[in-house]
Structure 1
Amino acid sequence: MYETPPQYPPVLPYATPSPARRRVLPLALLPLVLFGLLFFGGSYAASPEPDVEVQAGFAFAEVDGRDVVLAPYSRHGARGMFQLLTQDLFQVRLAATDPATGDVLWDTQLSDQLIWEASVLAAGQRHAYLATDSGLVIVALADGAVVAEGSEVPGLGDAFAAVRTAYAYDPESRHVMAMNAGGEVLAIALDEVMAVPVDPATAAAWSGRLSVQRGPGAPTSATGVEAALNAGTERIALRQAPNGTPGSVLVRVTADGREIPVGHTAFHGARLVVDGVTAVAAATGHVLVEHQRSVNDPGVALSLVSLATGQVTATLAVDARVDRALVGPDGVTALAAGEVLAAARGDGRVVPLGVGLADFFGSHR
């Protein structure tokens, strides 16, 4: 018996694109891809790094059990067309950096204004508080996210003062103090975000210390020619090098006034780096000296000197004089000098900390 062969649907000529058609689209996109690589990649390779300036208002805080430096800094410019199209040209950012390892835990943008400053007032377990040119800013220590700022701070609202001098920290009561635009004094408990009015006595005490008028920040002195060594009675000082040698040498001044040489290195244009009245790095058995790079080179360098041996254990060239130096809980010293944030460590090294570095896409690391 004859069986009818099975029927199949006809093969349509347009069901599957021809091999030639498959190649048309990628070939058409190839010039665009090459142009994008040359345009964005070439501009990135040819562009210099943006200008970075570390601001003096940095402070230590604890994040995940690590003592870190919270450092505000300005970043002006963009590297390459991709960053120019996607990033703010002017930025002020806050970086959390571990001075012991150099790791940047997080880096967050605070402002897109050309001239804008921030100072870290205090840090608790969860929050850090900054006095800025736009008012108070509260950030989360875990990731740097802005929790509240300006008029968003509960209790301040629209009466907030957009000036750094309206905010300060009271270490005795562990409160951030604030003055609003009406002259009222309020306080925020450490790790809280709500500003509440204070009692009349506290208001009277802080009314003369806070101001809603713009003015220069408090002057800081990061260097000197003589400084204390820890809490002892001995001091470290710079004296004219003997025998007509140009420069200054280090001497240790005892309680009875005797001067004992600390090494024989002569530093030109030298100053001791200090935190208040104490020589930084003294807790780790060192002193830090800011000086000219050589008698013929007025550029600035920082040298760490061992108090025990008088030997220079490390030297770091920087682009400016030291703006501020601060000793951390473990004795590590953080310092700001122009575009450099550096750490003087107990192992005798002075190393720059990598704030302001960004990849091709502008992501900070």
Structure 2
Amino acid sequence: MKKNNFPKLHNATWPGIVGKGDGSEPIIPLDTLLEKTAAAEVNGVKFDGIDLGLFDEHIRMDASEGEIKKLHDKVRDFGLQIGTLVAPVWPPSGGAAMGSEEERKRFVDVVRRACRFGEKLRKLGIRTTNIIRIDSASSVSAWAEHPVHSTKMIAQTFREACDVAAGFGEQLAAEGEICWGGMHSWKTMLDTLEQVDRPNIGFQADMAHTLLYLLGYNSPEDRILPADFQWKDREELSNALKQLTARLRPWTIDFHIAQNDGTVFGSGSHDKTGRHCLANDPNGKLDIGKDAGYWLRDDQGNLTKAFRHICWDGCMFPNEVMEKQDTWNNILAAMIQVRELHGWYENEDNFNQNIK
């Protein structure tokens, strides 16, 4: 039997930026992240690609065609492809999706610029998907002042952004993270997605963030696990994950493998959110291989094959940890396990033709 070669295994570049700077640790250069990703190897298996954050600290979103081609050549020379892009929708380049008219215009304009960048990478043949990640760029506390109106405004901005993205052949994935208003719980996330009502909007699940949906951080009334839940009760945790994924899986178009110890964390200017832990962290509450299956398989246990690639997200790890090659080898090993348990084999020629 041939070994599974799908979904493709990607690393993320934005952990070199998120939670860095602003009096915190220095930003990790893009070249360093590419080098560590390309060098990782477990029993002959390597990362297939990267998901790219369009942050000025790594690459200008308004890069010229020559600059984009240079990025293409650099990533290709490392033997990697590019998958999902992150649009920097936050101020100062963007603005709150539920903010003033000017802020919402900036938000949509950032999406437009990110879509332009993504379309060019697809035409160059190195980008393997047409998904761009967004969030509401709005605080939970501001959203909570007028919940109904706030969600209505976020949905309106997302609709406008979706219409722009459709013109470039792109889909938008709204990140399920507890620090963003209107998507800080599974229920508010569903409400937002349903109000957007566009065929090219979807959900991005990150295992570290969605675990906190179960606990009701920032939205206690929406918790799925009971207030007296004990982490040793694996059966109850599994049942809760089944409930959560049954609701959000139909919307999910992008998926992050991650670990969480059941707590929140923030660094730099980033608000507290799901704490990303190393794949082999002894305090991790998730069984990564098994729990990824709740997202990758339907309620009957059948593979959905909804994701052509999966990505590791490890934001706000200390630089000392991220600069160790063993860190990336251990992460890659966890990704490989997920693919062995929930992946499939496919002819590579078909895949390469699809991305062009």
Q: Shorter-chain TM-score: which interval? A: under 0.3
More RCO (CA 8 Å, sep 6+): 2
> Greater strand percent: which structure?
1
TM-score (norm 2): 0.26
Compare CA radii of gyration and give the structure with the larger one: 1
